């Protein structure tokens, strides 16, 4: 039983690494996946009697490679694949290649030749090690459709001759943002699930952080650190975002004692490393905003002036109507609801915000704070019509009911308006 537990743990932790090396050695996603599963099956069969080897990952790679070569020979293509019959061990260069293989796989899964949907699905399947059914559930797709999407993405990579490599120094600055964007999109998928009662899909958020940490080990760059800081600081609040009944709790009402102090400290540590290298890069700026919330002892003690300044810097660096929305809410919190509303009204016709429920939720909140009951009611109704996540719908419905009853103090929607931002 103990050996079985070890194999299960090893699979969860290292299957993507084993797969990455087998893809490089065998030159084919599907052959590598089959060989990897054969290797783990061999471990299940042999390790209970033989014991766990001293270097289990190397053992799995070696067995998987041999099984893959056997597959190729059985398919009578050994001549075309003779270059794959490489030594299994003992070469320093091969050891370095194995260490870099997860990075190769990540950049391949996130190649710009693929659509963003394909990159997301392929990264979750190949790098995060989720099953097709798990990826389909996370992305709210049918398993059969998701499987076909992954097959087509692999075929596109193969037919386009996409090299299985880490971009060189000249190309890396243009490729890295796409990889970071996919990781953050996976994280945000964990905070925007529309199925049932969940606000947070912890599995997806955790996988995104794990991918980010793996990338940081292999590619220690400032914006990688900044993204990790951002994800850790947001994820630290996950336990306070819903109450015991599953109802959404906005930031200013959250019990900060329920925030994960260890994860907050990890986020602040990553931010310190990022600020030393890329103080004005987008993810680092967003992490700096999250850090202001994390370091405030209470909602009332939040340094809104600094948040306004940081959103201004972020808007200059990465112009976006969603960032302008967040800045407007911060201005309202620092100055007055009317000041924030003036900025929001200037965005009202922007095509990216017309059907964005958080824009209308923010307008509703600020109109309520300003005492504009009728305008607030219309904005709440519009936000409610556009919202699909059940806890958010109930939250907005409660606010609308309180407004119509004339009950309750003003409340902020700032928590929702920035936590689910996509890069």
**Residue at 320 is within a domain:** no
CB of 67 within 8 A of CB of 38?
A: yes
* pTM exceeding 0.75: yes
**Residue at 75 is within a domain:** yes
**Helix or strand holding residue 170 (H, E):** none
For residue 68, what pLDDT is reported? 86
Residues 16 and 84 in one domain: yes
For 300, residues 6+ apart whose C-beta sits below 8 A from its C-beta are none
Nearest to 124 by CA among 201, 238, 37: 201
278 token code pair: 């890329």
**Residue at 274 is within a domain:** no
CATH number reported for the structural domain that contains residue 79 in this entry:
1.10.1740
**Residue at 184 is within a domain:** yes
For residue 96, what pLDDT is reported? 58
Q: Read out DSSP for 353-368?
A: TTT-HHHHHHHHHHHH
For residue 375, what pLDDT is reported? 95
Among residues 89, 110, 128, the one where a domain terminates is 89
Residues 352 and 372 in one domain: yes
Domain, as residue range, for 405: 333-419
Nearest to 187 by CA among 166, 208, 156: 208
Count of the separate structural domains present in the chain? 3
Look up residue 82 and give its DSSP letter: G
Q: With a cut of 70, list the residues of the chain below it in pLDDT.
A: 1-6, 74-97, 192-200, 407-423
For residue 67, what pLDDT is reported? 87
Residues 82 and 107 in one domain: no
For residue 115, what pLDDT is reported? 92
Residues 111 and 47 in one domain: no
**Residue at 328 is within a domain:** no
Ranges assigned E (strand) in 248-317: none
Q: Provide φ and ψ at 342, rounded to 5°.
A: -60, -40
CATH number reported for the structural domain that contains residue 410 in this entry:
1.25.40
Among residues 29, 55, 89, the one where a domain terminates is 89
**Three-state DSSP state, 231:** helix
CB of 179 within 8 A of CB of 107?
A: yes
Q: Find the angle CA(402)-CA(405)-CA(409) to the nearest 5 degrees.
A: 45
342 token code pair: 């003036």
CB of 302 within 8 A of CB of 385?
A: no
Q: Read out DSSP for 26-44?
A: HS-HHHHHHHHHHHHHHHH
CB of 228 within 8 A of CB of 216?
A: yes
**Residue at 112 is within a domain:** yes
CB of 138 within 8 A of CB of 204?
A: yes
Q: Provide φ and ψ at 238, rounded to 5°.
A: -60, -35
Residues 105 and 69 in one domain: no
For residue 135, what pLDDT is reported? 85
As a whole number of angstroms, the distance between CA 200 and CA 396 comes to 18
Residues 203 and 152 in one domain: yes
Q: Find the angle CA(141)-CA(27)-CA(85) to the nearest 5 degrees.
A: 145
Residues 76 and 13 in one domain: yes
Q: Provide φ and ψ at 242, rounded to 5°.
A: -130, 145
**Residue at 399 is within a domain:** yes
CB of 326 within 8 A of CB of 290?
A: no
Residues 83 and 159 in one domain: no
**Residue at 24 is within a domain:** yes
For residue 4, what pLDDT is reported? 65
For residue 410, what pLDDT is reported? 46
- Determine the length of the chain: 423
Among residues 170, 194, 216, the one where a domain terminates is 216
């Amino acid at each position: 039983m103990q050996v079985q537990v070890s194999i299960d743990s090893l699979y969860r932790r290292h299957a993507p690494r084993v797969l990455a090396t087998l893809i490089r050695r065998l030159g084919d996603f599907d052959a590598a996946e089959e060989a990897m599963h054969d290797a783990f099956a061999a471990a299940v069969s042999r390790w209970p009697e033989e014991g766990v080897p001293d270097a289990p990952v190397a053992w799995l790679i070696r067995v998987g490679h041999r099984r893959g070569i056997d597959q190729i020979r059985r398919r009578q293509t050994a001549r075309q694949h003779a270059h794959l019959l490489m030594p299994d061990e003992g070469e320093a260069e091969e050891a370095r290649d194995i260490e870099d293989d997860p990075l190769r796989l990540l950049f391949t899964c996130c190649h710009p030749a693929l659509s963003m949907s394909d990159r997301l699905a392929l990264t979750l399947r190949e790098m995060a090690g989720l099953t097709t059914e798990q990826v389909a559930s996370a992305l709210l797709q049918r398993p059969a459709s998701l499987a076909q999407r992954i097959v087509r993405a692999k075929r596109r990579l193969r037919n386009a001759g996409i090299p299985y490599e880490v971009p060189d120094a000249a190309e890396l600055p243009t490729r890295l943002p796409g990889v970071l964007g996919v990781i953050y999109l996976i994280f945000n998928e964990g905070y925007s699930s529309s199925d049932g009662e969940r606000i947070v899909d912890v599995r997806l958020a955790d996988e995104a952080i794990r991918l980010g940490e793996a990338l940081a080990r292999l590619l220690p760059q400032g914006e990688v650190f900044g993204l990790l800081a951002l994800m850790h600081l947001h994820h630290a609040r996950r336990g306070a975002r819903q109450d015991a009944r599953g109802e959404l709790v906005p930031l200013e009402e959250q019990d900060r004692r329920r925030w994960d102090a260890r994860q907050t400290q990890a986020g602040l540590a990553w931010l310190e490393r990022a600020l030393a290298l890329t103080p004005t890069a987008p993810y680092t700026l967003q992490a700096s905003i999250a850090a202001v919330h994390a370091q405030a002892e209470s909602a009332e003690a939040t340094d809104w002036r600094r948040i306004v300044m940081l959103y201004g810097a972020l808007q200059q660096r990465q112009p976006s109507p969603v960032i302008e929305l967040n800045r407007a809410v911060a201005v309202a919190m620092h100055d007055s609801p009317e000041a924030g509303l003036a900025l929001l009204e200037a965005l009202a016709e922007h095509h990216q915000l017309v059907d964005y429920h958080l824009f209308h939720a923010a307008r509703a909140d600020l109109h309520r704070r300003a005492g504009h009951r009728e305008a607030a009611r219309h904005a709440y109704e519009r936000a409610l019509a556009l919202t699909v996540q059940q806890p958010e719908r109930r939250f907005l419905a409660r606010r609308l009911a309180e407004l119509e009853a004339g009950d309750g103090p003003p409340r902020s929607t700032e928590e929702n308006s920035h936590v689910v931002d996509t890069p």
